[in-house]
């Protein structure tokens, strides 16, 4: 199966449309902060022949696959192994001090979901790894083996918005006294057994817990909270950023960062807005855009997406 077949980029044409005004000049710099398997980047490189891509990913398998997919653009791409809050350093390492367009496609990638032994999917039995960068950091199995009941409850509530967080934390503590929880199949069995029958009808019991573990293992929200302001800081006037988020916690962080960047800082009561207090960015879409019904039908991974976009209109002081 070709790379085009295994990965369908979400909201591709809308992303291209929003980034186009910033990428049409020769020498424009595009940062794909979540390169994945390179689907969005491939289309943008094809559409804008004067663009140089700086592609970031913490997943070395993704960088390898994207490098193969984008090989025909080798003289126009720089791929960097880094987490996306390192965007400024990644640009500098590629020889640039700013980016004209930036794309974030957040969450777990198609590659990570589809490769069973990564442990991201509750529908497949695999070692409980869940690291986006398998070269460093603790695994999900480590979290389950070492966190206290209170710590497990906290991450399930905060990162999974799980109503049964306390029940699941107690069940995990009890189960690990009997045997280490090292595989996704084991964890699913524990969660299903701890879930009242009525609650099981509301969705798979493991969905929110697996999300919470993945976020904890990869520090996703803390990284994102640093990454969006860092990315905004690399954009010149006319530069644009597009962010695709797939769960409410991510989207709230993006919404808040964009709201702050697009707000006036004028003190209350001033009769006119002074130039130095004018917003630095303008929002390009109203609220968060969703995928169309047709795209959701053809690409189910587009179902939860929320798109937000902004353009710099004033330099920082």
- Residues annotated within the binding site for S-adenosyl-L-methionine are 38-40, 57, 84, 105, 112
Residues 6+ away with beta carbon under 8 Å from 51 = 23, 28, 29, 30, 44, 45, 76, 101
Give the closest residue to 8 by CA, choosing from 242, 314, 300, 310: 300
Three-state DSSP class for residue 234: coil
Q: For 139-270, where are the E strands, in sequence order?
A: 240-245
Distance CA 247, CA 12 (A): 19
- The Cα–Cα gap between 166 and 120 comes to 22
Q: What's the CA angle centered on 203, arms 170 and 288, to 5 degrees?
A: 110
Structure tokens at 282: 């303008």
Q: Which of 131, 207, 141 has the alpha carbon at shortest distance from 175?
A: 141
Residue list, annotated binding site: 38-40, 57, 84, 105, 112
Tokens of 116: 């069973």
Taking CA atoms, 160 is separated from 208, 211, 216, 271, 299, in Å, by 5, 6, 10, 46, 24
Q: Are 171 and 165 in contact (CB under 8 A)?
A: no
Strands 29-32 and 101-105: parallel
């Amino acid at each position: 199966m070709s790379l085009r077949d295994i990965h369908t980029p979400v909201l591709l044409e809308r992303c291209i449309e929003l980034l186009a005004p910033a990428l049409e000049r020769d020498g424009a710099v595009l940062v794909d902060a979540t390169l994945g398997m390179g689907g969005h980047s491939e289309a943008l490189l094809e559409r804008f022949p004067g663009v140089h891509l700086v592609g970031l990913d913490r997943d070395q398998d993704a960088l390898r696959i994207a490098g193969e997919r984008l090989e025909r653009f080798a003289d126009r791409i720089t791929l960097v192994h880094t987490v996306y809050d390192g965007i400024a350093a990644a640009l500098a390492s590629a020889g640039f001090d700013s980016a004209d367009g930036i794309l974030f496609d957040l969450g777990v990638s198609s590659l990570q979901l589809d490769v069973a032994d990564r442990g991201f999917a509750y529908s497949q039995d695999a070692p409980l790894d869940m690291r986006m960068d398998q070269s460093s950091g603790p695994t999900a199995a480590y979290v389950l083996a070492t966190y206290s009941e209170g710590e497990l409850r906290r991450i399930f509530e905060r990162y999974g918005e799980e109503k049964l967080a306390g029940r699941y934390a107690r069940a995990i503590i009890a189960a690990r006294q009997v045997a280490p929880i090292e595989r996704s199949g084991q964890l699913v069995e524990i969660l299903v057994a701890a879930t009242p029958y009525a609650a099981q009808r509301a969705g798979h019991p493991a969905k929110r817990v697996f999300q919470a573990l993945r976020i904890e293992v990869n520090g996703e929200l803390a990284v994102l909270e640093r990454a969006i302001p860092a990315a905004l800081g690399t954009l010149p006037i006319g530069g644009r950023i597009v962010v695709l988020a797939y769960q409410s916690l991510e989207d709230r962080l993006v919404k808040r960062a964009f709201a702050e960047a697009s707000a006036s800082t004028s003190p209350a009561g001033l009769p006119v807005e002074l130039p130095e207090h004018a917003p630095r960015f303008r929002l390009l879409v109203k609220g968060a855009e969703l995928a169309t019904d047709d795209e959701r039908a053809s690409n189910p991974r587009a179902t939860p997406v929320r798109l937000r976009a902004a353009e710099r209109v004033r330099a920082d002081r």
